[in-house]
Structure 1
């Protein structure tokens, strides 16, 4: 991938500005540090409860003046609006957005908790995970695309770059963490569904899908994983993949799976193997259906029911 230093600056030699949601800890913090090391302005968007971690990270940087922390709950549209507005007021246009904020359930979806009447209780924890991981990513993507569409084109003709953080769980999912797996499948679908508009706007939207990475989310089994001898990512591995994907003009609609020291693009092989797993007849029907909607100018939305 093209990761030369010039990729991190605009044609007028001003540094690019990057927003990283969930940027105070773990993968997000390492990503923020990596962008900053390449000369970018960075905005760490994270919950108010992460303010100490965010401010400590900024204080540790070589040029803290190129970094800001904005308290942000990605499920709140008001917070997302304020994040982009204040970021623009501070640094100007937003060039790169990394939608990294995410969480995992602390209760099993199939625990079947009952109330005092013996009635099954709602899985509210599941809703919280979906809200943060999927709704929050949708909020971030939508606002980022709206912000970037008015940017002047970069040297490669791009007006902005967005990286959505999914997971290998967005493609596989036999571990039983129902809400997390469902949300990450949703993030992959979100990227696929956004490509047509993204191309029209000159914005690149890609996915990074990490395999096991020791962070707070995986703390419950990290030591046992290490003892097993299975390969693991470091946060640096994932951060490097995120940064490289965001600045590589060849990446559009791609998904980069990060597994240990291996990085593989997996969307194009999935597309080319469609005939192998669907069969030629169904694959042909799907292709013709796609052409129908392209010729139609997109999916015709139904009227809202009263």
Structure 2
């Protein structure tokens, strides 16, 4: 699928990986609707990107909120061709912690709702809108790109909730691709390693440096435009479907 003149909805598009994807799509002649709870930051991104971008406040865990965001996109740009899911949260809590305290179930539930259910909530509604598109080359109507994490495979101590949700995103990639194949909609997942996002930037060196040491080459954090470059390839390469790709500099996470 060519990016020029196509419309993408991007969750978490106000910062980090999502913003990089939005910048890439606009730079290549596409249009973006940013779905984010941080309306102030989203407005800043829209101001920087110009008339090819817009934003709407959205809670990915809410069916009504996402449905309203999808409708706002259709009203603004007339169609949806690409759905990129970057919204997500992390947590640090052991299954059983100090003084034999069990993992807070509310925290686990919250991470699942945002990272896993939220991802599916958005993509299912976006895909329903894509199904109305006129088919293009190879009878293609749309592309879905989800964001997992290397934690789906190498979850560390204290990452049980996060790793479970990212493993779920990986696990549903192929079934979604199979479900949507008759509609001409592809689905792939990117599993990033440690990237230089605002969240990671705020971490102290004692947290970042061990992660950099686990990275094989290059010995650094990933740059968000490198994530966006893979997004571009997944949009443009029609034969990429049902796949999860690690983008991690060869990192294999140690237990701690």
Asked if Structure 1 and Structure 2 have the same fold, meaning a TM-score greater than 0.5 normalized by the shorter chain, the answer is yes
Q: Distance in 1 between matches of 2:228 and 2:241?
A: 18
Name 2:132's counterpart in structure 1: 150
Query: What are the within-5 Å matches in structure 2 for residues 152-171 of structure 1?
Result: 152-171=134-153
> Contact 2:93–2:158 at 8 Å: present in 1 too?
no
Q: Distance in 1 between matches of 2:242 and 2:73?
A: 26
Q: Distance in 1 between matches of 2:92 and 2:58?
A: 22
Alignment pair present for 1:184 and 2:166: yes
| Superimposed CA distance per residue, residues 3-40 of structure 1 (whole angstroms, 9 cap, x where no aligned partner) | xxx8113xxxxx10000001101111111111111111
1:33 to 2, 20, 23: 23
Name 2:254's counterpart in structure 1: none
Alignment pair present for 1:51 and 2:39: yes
Bigger relative CO (Cα 8 Å, ≥ 6 apart): 2
Alignment pair present for 1:42 and 2:37: no
TM-score (norm 1): 0.74
Alignment pair present for 1:60 and 2:42: no
Q: Distance in 2 between matches of 1:250 and 1:113?
A: 52
Q: Distance in 1 between matches of 2:232 and 2:140?
A: 16
Structure 1, unaligned runs of 5 or more: 1-5, 10-14, 263-306
Query: What are the within-5 Å matches in structure 2 for residues 155-304 of structure 1?
Result: 155-219=137-201, 221=203, 223-224=205-206, 225-226=208-209, 229=213, 230=215, 231=219, 232-260=221-249
1:69 to 16, 35, 55: 55
Structure 2, unaligned runs of 5 or more: 251-256
3-state SS of the aligned residue for 2:91? Answer: coil
Aligned Cα root-mean-square deviation (Å): 2.2
Equivalenced residue count is: 243
Q: Distance in 2 between matches of 1:120 and 1:255?
A: 32
Q: Distance in 1 between matches of 2:95 and 2:112?
A: 12
1:82 to 68, 74, 78: 68
| Superimposed CA distance per residue, residues 73-113 of structure 1 (whole angstroms, 9 cap, x where no aligned partner) | 00000011001111001101100000111010154443368
> Contact 1:17–1:94 at 8 Å: present in 2 too?
yes
Alignment pair present for 1:97 and 2:79: no
> Contact 1:148–1:159 at 8 Å: present in 2 too?
yes
3-state SS of the aligned residue for 1:65? Answer: coil
Distance verdict in 2 for CA 1:146–1:206, change over 3 Å: same
Q: Distance in 2 between matches of 1:35 and 1:113?
A: 49
> Contact 1:241–1:256 at 8 Å: present in 2 too?
no
TM-score (norm 2): 0.87
Deviation beyond 6 Å, 4+ runs, structure 1? none
Alignment pair present for 1:7 and 2:2: yes
